[in-house]
Amino acid sequence: MAKVKLYDKDHGTYYFRCPAGHDHYINTIVPNQQNAQWGFNGDVNNPTFTPSINEKAGRFVDVNVKGNEEWLSNPENSYHCHFIITNGKIKFCGDCSHELKNLTIELPEI
């Protein structure tokens, strides 16, 4: 069964639910608002995205970033999730702010 789902065909945006509890949207055709874009092997059952995905929110984001004020005011919204997805497995990097850092696990099915 699929581990990632096409969210926006025009932008090549794929969605998945991270085992650490965050929703992630990965653009593969059109860069996102931070001008980031990823390669994708096209396999929704055993996906590989390159390069790594490094998402930050709240206190982990530069305080000068516009629109971050609401996140900064609520510490529960702060997280840093940095990972690599290869052949359907997600490898969390050591700089993650959650308990799955340094682990490699199967990406859950959607």
pTM of the model: 0.82
How far is 17 from 20, CA to CA, in rounded Å? 8
pLDDT along the chain (110 residues), means of 10: 96 93 90 89 97 79 59 68 96 94 95
The burial class, CB within 10 Å (0-12 / 13-18 / 19+), for 91 is middle
- Residue type for position 36: A
